[in-house]
Homo-oligomer: A and B are copies of this chain.
Amino acid sequence: MDQKLQGYIDKLNKLNFKDMYEGDFFLTWEKTDDEIEAVFTVADALRYMRETNISTKVFESGLGISLFRDNSTRTRFSFASACNLLGLEVQDLDEGKSQIAHGETVRETANMISFMADVIGIRDDLFIGKGNAYMHSVVDAVTEGHRDGVLEQKPTLVNLQCDIDHPTQCMADMLHIINTFGGVQNLKGKKVAMTWAYSPSYGKPLSVPQGVIGLMTRFGMDVVLAHPEGYEVMPEVEEVARANAAKTGGSFTKTNNMAEAFKDADIVYPKSWAPFAAMEKRTELYAQGDQEGIKALEKELLAQNAEHKDWSCTEELMETTRDGRALYLHCLPADITGVSCEEGEVDASVFDRYRDPLYKEASYKPYIIAAMIFLAKQKDPAGTLAKLYARAAERHVQ
């Protein structure tokens, strides 16, 4: 047995994640620490196996259904890559091409697409109070369908971003941090600045900042959430962050001062998002089909954003971080000053310097998604890894 792979297997054997089998992945804070670590471990193991040309195809056939209710490049390709890595063929449920608009219920559609689906990945992040709830309806439907003999298998749900959390993104961010800092054991006391940043666009989801404070507070780090007044995130997620910090000996604090957040930070994550209250209002306006109201709100929000153009990740601010070289994170694409917009979230020179680590950060996402699927579908994940190694099928026959 390969030593490195054996290391991953040994780690898994020490963790308790048996409840993940036949489960789903909605929010990181619904998972235990062992479960979170299992995802990281399997992600690293799958990546290592692909790098060493060992096929990790556990499915000879089967579908991975994707449903994107918002545009996407990287998550779409990450999901497709993850499915492909495990042997599943992606079928996109394009609601435009389907009959869904013509009166199908969620319950019905969920079953109709799942006869041979092993995984369903959903992005539904635009409306507060809707996305996560929708994912639960889908899971309830297919669980029932499986129980009643309609579906041969219960597909596992992977939350590809909802209104509350963006678990595949934040776990990719976190795995990038862990690997950059040389292991979880080195994170204690590290300062993370999750800060709002100015963008000339509006209505960006809150799921990234929420996901970040909900996850990164679990590792004994000092997490600071910074934003201008009025850009509050969901209070229940702040509550999660506070509880996490209390448990792990780290801290969760808030500030309306970007400089304060950046001061001596080891990790910075400056990113735009819409105010929670505005997103709620927007959800209502859409529900009412109030086009005038939507336009007025957009205008209002852009004006509100424009009052905070000084919230930008500049070279000056970066200077104030730990040794002037905090790890800069972003979920991409970023609004780069002078590149993608006149004034944006980050200076072009800062972004350019971190391009390579940013791409590496993104490169974890397919493996995180694959790990979530693997842990939900394999009864004995550690055993399967060993079996795949022993099978020794090449990913690419040379």
Is A63's beta carbon under 8 Å from chain B?
yes
- Minimum C-beta distance from A204 to chain B (A): 10
Alpha-carbon separation in the docked complex, A152 to B52 (Å): 10
Task: State whether A109 and B73 are in contact (beta carbons under 8 Å apart), knowing that A61-B85, A84-B116 are contacts in the complex.
Answer: yes
- Give a binary string over A319-342; 1 marks a CB under 8 Å from any B CB, 0 the rest: 000000000000011111001110
Chain B residues near A93 (CB, 8 Å)? 73, 77
**Which of A8-16, A279-287, A354-362 binds B?**
A354-362
- Give a binary string over A31-70; 1 marks a CB under 8 Å from any B CB, 0 the rest: 0000000000000000100110001111111110100100
The reply to whether B112 and A73 contact each other, CB–CB distance below 8 Å, is yes
Q: Name A373-395 residues within 8 Å CB distance of B.
A: 377-380, 384, 387-388, 393-395
Task: State whether A397 and B393 are in contact (beta carbons under 8 Å apart), knowing that A63-B81, A103-B340, A356-B150 are contacts in the complex.
Answer: no
The reply to whether B108 and A60 contact each other, CB–CB distance below 8 Å, is no
Is A363's beta carbon under 8 Å from chain B?
yes
The reply to whether A333 and B152 contact each other, CB–CB distance below 8 Å, is no
The reply to whether A71 and B55 contact each other, CB–CB distance below 8 Å, is no
Q: Name A65-103 residues within 8 Å CB distance of B.
A: 65, 68, 71-74, 76-78, 80-81, 84-85, 87, 89-91, 93, 97-100, 102-103
Is A105's beta carbon under 8 Å from chain B?
yes
Sample 9 A-B pairs with CB under 8 A, ordered by A number: A60-B394, A73-B93, A74-B113, A81-B115, A89-B89, A103-B339, A108-B332, A148-B359, A388-B397
